[in-house]
Amino acid sequence: MAEKTIFKRIIDGEIPAKIIYQDDLCLAFHDISPQAPTHVIVIPRKEIPSLAAIADEDAPLLGHLLVVIRDLAKQLQLERGFRVVNNCGPYGGQTVDHLHFHLLGERPMTWPPG
Ligand code: 5GP
């Protein structure tokens, strides 16, 4: 059996995380190595390795994640704006093979990304 990802271990409560939101479909927690004053990771409970691996029937789940991100941005008072990032695959810079979105805020972002 494939080894659990670090995010699956957080879902299963095997390792601690600063969880700020959870429901039956997803959870959100502070990134262990923040790249901005606010850096939250939002993940589905469903084990999906990456954005490239989503199924058509995951569309409502993906929509839910974006609604949660919208609400978190409001809750975290990111009214000046924020960035949502999904790293997909090796060239995308993905390091944890469990679908996740980064919510970054409280500093101005630059473009293009590195
Ligand atoms: P990726 O590079 O795959 O897009 O993002 C993975 C993110 O997970 C990184 O920003 C990294 O800092 C974060 N991360 C890795 N391990 C842990 C952990 O054990 N706890 C938390 N809270 N974040 C983690």
pLDDT in tens, 49-66: 999 999 999 999 999 999
20 near 29, Cβ under 8 Å?
Answer: yes
Q: In terms of DSSP H, where are the helices of the chain?
A: 6-11, 59-75, 89-92
**pLDDT tier at 74, thresholds 50, 70, 90:** very high
CA of 48 to the centre of ligand 1 (A): 16
Q: Give the span between the Cα atoms of 34 and 5, in whole angstroms.
A: 19
Q: Kindly give, in sequence order, each residue whose CB lies less than 8 Å from that of residue 106, ignoring residues fewer than 6 positions away.
A: 36, 37, 38, 78
Q: Is 39 one of the catalytic residues?
A: no
Residue 41: the pLDDT is 99
Q: Is the pLDDT confidence value at 104 over 90?
A: yes
Output the CA angle 74-80-82, nearest 5 degrees: 70
Local structure of 108: helix, strand or coil: coil
Residue 1: the pLDDT is 65
CA of 65 to the centre of ligand 1 (A): 17
What is the average pLDDT score of the chain? 97
Pocket of ligand 1 (CB under 6 A): 6, 17, 29, 31-33, 41, 87, 93-96
Residue 114: the pLDDT is 82
